[in-house]
Each structure stands twice: as C-alpha cells, then as structure tokens.
Structure 1
Amino acid sequence: MSEQLAPTDDDIDRIVDDVFETVADATPELRRSIRGRRGETDDENPSGDRQLEADQQFDRLLVDRLGRLDGVGTYASEERDDPVDCGEGVSLTVDPLDGSSNLKSNNLVGTIVGVYDGELPASGRNLIGAGYVVYGPTTTMVQARGDAAVEYEVVDGERRPLRPVDLPDDPTVFGFGGGDDEWVSAFERYAQEIRSELKLRYGGALVGDVNQVLRYGGVFAYPTLESREEGKLRLQFEANPMAYILRAAGGAATDGDRSILDVSAEELHQRTPLYVGNKELLRRLPDEL
C-alpha cells in the first residue's frame, strides 16, 4: 500500500518528472510492440472490454518501467483488476493503450497517465501531475503539473519541448462520442447548437480527441447515454487526468453537474460522463444532464 506524500514534499517534482521521462523513454519500444499484436485475445479487462494483444503488451512494458521507479508506490492499470504494490510513494493510474480499438483501422492511439498523491481510488484533487502520449505521425506528449501544461515531441525516447499548452479563446472543433441514437434529449439539443458553430473532429481515441481540442479550442464529450447513465470513460484512468490537463491549459471538465476533479471516487474502475473544453462552451451545457 502506497504511503501518502504531502503536497509540499521536495521530491514531488522529481517523481512526477521521472514518471513522464520514463514513459517518454519507453515510447520507441511501445510503438514497436504494436506490430503483430493488433489481434484480440480471449481476455477482458475489468470494464468488460475485449483485450488486444497490444493492450496486454503495453501494460506489461509500462508496469515494468514505472514500477521500478523510486517514489512510485502503486501502479494501477485499466487492464488490471487490482493495483500493483510497488513500494512507497505516489499512486499511478495508467491507460496503457487508449483507443486500442482504433488499431484495426490503423488510427490514432495513445497512453494516459495520472500521478496521485494518495491511495486509490482517489479524488481528482489528489492529482499532482498528468499527461498523455499520442502515437500519431510523430510521437507527442502533453504533460501537466500544477497550473502549467507543456507539449513535447518525443524523438528516440527523448522529450523535446514544443510549446506551452493554452486553450485557444476562439474554439473551432467538437467531438461527441456514444452515438446520437443513445444521447439523452438534453444533450441532443446541446449537440445541435454546437454542430451549427464548430467543425466535427472525432477519432474514437480520447487522447486524439482531447488533443485536437487543446490545439484548436472547442469541446469534447462522451455524455450520459440512455443505455449507460454512468457514462463510458473511467474516472481514475481517463477523466481525472484529462480534467487536470484541461484545467492547467485554461479549460475545464465536468460530469454535467460538477467539476470532474470533485467527483467522489468510490471504485477503481468507476465510470463517468465527461465533457471537456473551453469554459464558455461547458457553461452552456443543459442543467438536465
């Protein structure tokens, strides 16, 4: 069980940086490991999704690299039922291969990491760092710490700073998941308004969809569905880290009622609706959500 670290601990900055330096260092091997591993296995992850061979390989590589870091106490993966005890220190949540269903069509995938000061499951307010990798034409990483977010290009496992990430004031794009035949009526009305103002950009991987919002401004949502009131995305592994990053970049994230960072964490694999982007677009979300 990981030991909670005080937010003022002098080692926190080092630990967070070590985590993302380690993820960056692993990216060449992670990219190579996709080759020949796009097929399904007979296994399911704790959320009931069929695992691909690449899902399992990414998880094995990352737990091996991150679990050996000094100051990492717990490694929790979207692909594992229970966290791995690594010693004493911070708790990591990892979506090793976000958007893995995109591998079949050879579209964008990525990796999402949250660094929590506390035992899991934890509130998003316990995050002390978060980031994601996009395995696109180039490999990029967005990393947030406190009130700052930075985009890097990752070349041969080394991070090269590209720019501070600040959400543009003039939004351009939107992406909504779940299928409009499953949307609740209140969100459908909101979606119709947004469609008349912004350009549709939806790729089916959270890392890619949020990455476009951070670059161009706009809104991404995987809303409450008629058949799934609790939403689809995982609070600990996907929603909290993305909310932390959006906040650092000047945006916001909500479950339709409150900030994602204020959602009570009851279970490790808990799901939630997610709406992220420019604050003014999120303020227009209907109260009925």
Structure 2
Amino acid sequence: MSDTVDDVLETVAAVAPDVRGGLPGRRLTEAGVENPSGESVTAADVHADELFFEALGAIDGVAEFASEEREAVVDTGDGAPGEGDVAVAIDPLDGSSNLASNNAMGTIVGIADESLPAAGESLVAAAYVLYGPITTMTVAREGTVTTSVIDGGEARAVEEDVSLPDDPVVYGFGGRVPEWPDAFREYAREVESELKLRYGGAMVGDVNQVLSYGGIFAYPALESAPNGKLRLQFEGAPIAKIIEAAGGASSDGEQSLLSVEPTDLHQRVPVHVGNEAYVERLEAALAD
C-alpha cells in the first residue's frame, strides 16, 4: 500500500502543471452543467477532473476513484481498499470560481484504505496542491506534514515537519455574516479583535494561510445551509488530516472532522480548522 500511496502523490504532482496550464483558456467558460452538489461547473473543473481521473485511475493499487464532479464512486481496479489497495477522493479544482478574478485555487486529495465514502480516520494520506504564485503541494502522511514545490511535474520538498505556529495571526470565515448562527457570530467578533482577516474564497488558499501563520479557518453552518457548504469527503476530512498532523485541530462544531461518519459521498459538513485553542473555544461557544 505504501508504494501505491507514493504513486498517487507522485501522479498528483505530475498532473498539477497540466491543470494549471489549462486554466487560461478556460478562465470564463462555463461547462453548462451542475455538479452533484448543485453548483455550476466551469470548463476548468471538467478539465481538471478528466486529467486526474485518467492518471489516477490507471495506477495499479487504486481500486476506487471519487470526485466532487462525479455523482458516484468509480471502480478503477480489481482489488478493494483495505486489501492492499486504496481509494482516492479528490476535489480537482477547489475555488474554481476564483478564475474570473484570477485568485488562488487548488486541488485536494484524500487517500483511504476503506471504500468510499470513508471516514477521515481511514485516510492514510492527504494532500493539497496550491496554484498560487508558485505551485506547491502539502502532504500529511504518517503523522507528519511536508510542503514541496512542484517543478516540471515533480515535487521537491522545501519544508518538512510542518507545524502550525504557536502564535496565531490570521483568520478566514466563509458564508454571509447574516446567515451565521448567533453563537458563531459572537465567536467571530472575539476572533476579529485578535487576528487579521485573510479570506480569498478558495479553501486551499485560506487554509494554507492558517498553516503558514497560525490561526483559524471556518465555513460554519448557515441558516440556508445548516449542514454547512463544504463536502466532508472531498474537502473537510483531507484538510482536517493535514491540519491535525501539523499539530492543529479540526471540528464540525462538536467533534473532530476525522471522526464524522459519512452517510453520503457528497455529504456536507461545517468545517473549522486551525490552532487547537481557537477550535476548542469555538466548540465551547457553539455548545453554550
């Protein structure tokens, strides 16, 4: 299984430049369809999904592939997750709505040793690629986090044993303020007096700010979306895996995102990740 995880991560790094290279020509092009979560899909989403599916689905040892852009899990091998093979869940292009404004985007990957949908506790590795001024990949594996620069389709480690700074600096909260629950709104007022706002509209970019400077990212439950907006399988659990491996914490408001049992492949969940003290304060605020 370890060799397969290596292959998956190396393949993600190899495909990332092609995903990035395909963005300019698809900047303002809609695909004319919606994904299973009811969101409009851009041509860049479709292109990224197709690239990753073709490359990851061809790896021996990858038994299942699931994407935010696909309705169901695709069987890609003869084996089964947990019997030496793995399942891969991916958000091919996180923050694709940022294409119009030329802001950061990313790719999020979870690698599980159980069939999908799988709880975060079954993730053997997780990663995100950030398409910023440079392309980087941050990987959580075996309890440690490594950040690499992707150059020429290969990942070169630039920081190992990554951990959240002890002195938090930034926060980023998604959703419209009028739709926040009262308890979260009160918590946000406290946080905004302590930390600097950094929010760009792509989870990968916002979480990377938290990982770099310390703090908290949240996309809470909303009045219009009581289960949150982000997907557990494709966004919440993989990001939680990375943040917790870096010494931070995650929560759906009551428990670690890694402990949430999935009931549906495209299940939504409130997401709160960052320095442990801020996540614990948030859980206490929501419990009052």
TM-score bucket (shorter structure): over 0.9
TM superposition shift of 1:288: 3.3
> Does 1:61 find its partner at 2:60?
no
Equivalent position SS for 1:230? coil
Equivalent position SS for 1:134? strand
Deviations 1:188-212 (A, max 9, x none): 0000000000000000000000000
Distance in 2 (alpha carbons) for counterparts of 1:250 and 1:35: 36
**Amino acid across the alignment from 1:19:** V
Identify the match of residue 19 of structure 1 among 1, 5, 8.
8
**Amino acid across the alignment from 1:170:** D
> Does 1:287 find its partner at 2:275?
no
Distance in 2 (alpha carbons) for counterparts of 1:224 and 1:30: 31
> Does 1:98 find its partner at 2:94?
yes
Distance in 1 (alpha carbons) for counterparts of 2:239 and 2:214: 15
> Does 1:226 find its partner at 2:223?
yes
**Amino acid across the alignment from 2:99:** L
Deviation larger for 279-288 or 119-128: 279-288
TM superposition shift of 1:99: 0.2
Distance in 2 (alpha carbons) for counterparts of 1:273 and 1:184: 12
Deviations 1:104-137 (A, max 9, x none): 1010001000001111111111100000000111
TM superposition shift of 1:41: 1.9
Q: Where do 1:88-237 residues align within 5 Å?
A: 88=79, 89-164=85-160, 165-237=162-234
Aligned residue-pair number: 278
Supply the RMSD in Å over aligned alpha carbons. Answer: 0.9
Deviations 1:226-268 (A, max 9, x none): 1110000000000000000011100010000111011111000
Q: 2:257 is matched with which residue?
A: 260
Distance in 2 (alpha carbons) for counterparts of 1:104 and 1:35: 10
**Amino acid across the alignment from 2:58:** R
Deviations 1:3-43 (A, max 9, x none): xxxxxxxxx22111211110101122111111211211210
**Amino acid across the alignment from 1:50:** S
**Amino acid across the alignment from 2:147:** E
How does the TM-score come out when normalised to structure 2?
Answer: 0.95
Distance in 1 (alpha carbons) for counterparts of 2:165 and 2:5: 26
- Do the aligned partners of 2:31 and 2:46 also contact (CA within 8 Å) in 1? no
Unaligned runs of 5+ in 2: 80-84
Q: Percent identity, aligned pairs only? A: 54
Distance in 2 (alpha carbons) for counterparts of 1:184 and 1:31: 37
Distance in 1 (alpha carbons) for counterparts of 2:11 and 2:276: 32
Distance in 2 (alpha carbons) for counterparts of 1:254 and 1:113: 19
Runs of 4+ aligned residues of structure 1 deviating over 2 Å after TM superposition are none
> Does 1:248 find its partner at 2:241?
no
Unaligned runs of 5+ in 1: 1-11
Q: 2:82 is matched with which residue?
A: none
Q: 1:28 is matched with which residue?
A: 17
